[in-house]
Amino acid sequence: MMIYSGTVIGLALVGVFGWNLIARGGYESAEYKVVESEGKFEVREYPDLMLAATTTNLDSQGRDGSFMKLFRYISGANENQQKISMTTPVFMDGKDAGSSVQMGFVMPKDVAAQGVPKPTGEQVDVRKRAGGRFAVVRFSGQLNSKSAKESEAKLRAWMNSKGLVADESTQGSGVETAGYDPPFTPGPLRRNEVLIRLKVDK
């Protein structure tokens, strides 16, 4: 009985894991180039990205209505009544992970190239996420202020060991979180990231 139960659980986990990879892989993802990689840490180069954004709280996991505001926008609540494909990741940018942050959906490349339509819904705007070089750490589990702060501390320690310097001159916080999975995805299967914009000598 124990062997049977273990087999069933194992098959279920394989099924969920496989489905999760398929679901995640079904979305266009923001492009980047990996400059350096060491385990769960990376240095990446990102191009400029266009985001549809609204204000949220990191710990709300979108349950405060912020996710639905953005979902309505890509479902047609825009000046062109245009349906826009969902992408990954969902970026969140804020000076304090425990307070209000900006949640942003990345616009697909073709939509960004043609011109992002203006939102018609309240509290949604379109903004540019400036490209550049970022230090990144990947982690699983629930994405909340506690896990984000812990991961940020680990990332900063790795940056120090590599002589990497955060860019403090940016208009935003310079620190972002990114989530790649739907809210119902089990914690161990989630892909979350903390990103810190780096100072680059010109």
Q: Are 54 and 123 in contact (CB under 8 A)?
A: yes
pLDDT tens track for 80-129? 999 999 999 999 997 555 568 899 999 999 999 999 999 999 999 999 99
Would the pLDDT of 130 be above 70? yes
Q: Are 105 and 29 in contact (CB under 8 A)?
A: no
Would the pLDDT of 20 be above 60? no
Report, as an integer, the average pLDDT of 6-20.
37
pTM given for the model? 0.84
Would the pLDDT of 47 be above 60? yes
Q: Which pLDDT band, with edges at 50, 70 and 90, does 57 fall under?
A: confident
**For residue 13, what pLDDT is reported?**
36
> What CATH number labels 2-197?
3.20.80.10
pLDDT tens track for 162-188? 999 999 886 656 899 999 988 778 889
